[in-house]
Structure 1
Amino acid sequence: MYKGSCLCGAVRIAVEGDLPRPSACHCTACRKHTGHYEASVDIPRTALRIEGEDAVRWYHSSEKVRRGFCGTCGSTLFWDPIHRDWTAVAMGAFDGPTNTSLSMHIFVSEKGDYYEIGDGLPQNIR
């Protein structure tokens, strides 16, 4: 079981089972939503428990995706493709070791010009 929360603790998460390898998204929307790029892991909805769900605020960034954040402290928490059976959880929300590591970078064609990606992981332009 992996646990985590937003910065203020109003929203708490728990994930059953092992965490898959996360990806890092460098698209403009993720950079604006998080303030940098977003590292997140796709979790089946059946394995994700959210406490304090009333504090989660949702922003519909497109007709297919909504982004969840804490309405109290503003912490980025979720990237949720509405018509899928999983939700991406921000890696920064987890407490303690996650026992996983990045698998790839996506949307690198939109990455910020102020940083370089030098970890040797695959980089997809989209």
Structure 2
Amino acid sequence: MHTGSCLCGNVAFTVNGDIEPPNACHCGQCRRQSGHLWASCVTHQDNLSFTSSETLSWYCASDIAKRGFCRACGSFLFWQHNDEDTIAVSVGSLDEPTGLKLAQHIFVADKGDYYDIQDDLPQRAY
């Protein structure tokens, strides 16, 4: 089980169930919304429950997905594909210790030109 919240605590949640090892997304949308790469882990949407969600809002970032954030503090918390029953949860929003270790980099074909990936983890172009 993992618990987490946004910066101000108005959105708080529990992930109770399997959670995949996190990945670091380098796509342009994640970089723009988070300010750099975005690390997240995927779980089945039924594993996610909210203890507080009064300021949770969703932004339709594209025709295929939406992004969940706190409209009070601006924390970017979730990414969900419209046609899937899983949800990506920001690793940075989880309470520590998480016990999680970064597993891979995704969308590296779109990564920013201002940094290099310097670890030996697998890299997926998309």
- TM-score bracket, normalised by the shorter chain, equals over 0.9
Q: Are the counterparts in 2 of residues 69 and 77 from structure 1 also a CA contact under 8 Å?
A: yes
Q: Which runs of 5+ in 2 are unaligned?
A: none
CA RMSD of aligned residues (A): 1.1
Q: In the alignment, residue 28 of structure 2 is paired with which amino acid?
A: T
1:74-93 correspondence runs (5 A): 74-93=74-93
Q: Are the counterparts in 2 of residues 57 and 71 from structure 1 also a CA contact under 8 Å?
A: yes
Q: What's the counterpart of residue 103 of structure 2?
A: 103
Q: Which runs of 5+ in 1 are unaligned?
A: none
CA distance in 2, matches of 1:50, 1:78: 13
Q: Tell me the alpha carbon deviations over residues 80-101 of structure 1, each in whole angstroms, 9 at most, x when there is no partner.
A: 1122111100000001111111
Q: What's the counterpart of residue 64 of structure 2?
A: 64
Deviation at 1:18, TM superposition (A): 4.5
Deviation at 1:13, TM superposition (A): 1.2
Q: Tell me the alpha carbon deviations over residues 40-63 of structure 1, each in whole angstroms, 9 at most, x when there is no partner.
A: 011101111123223111110112
Q: Secondary structure at the match of 2:79?
A: strand
Q: What's the counterpart of residue 121 of structure 1?
A: 121
Q: In the alignment, residue 79 of structure 1 is paired with which amino acid?
A: W
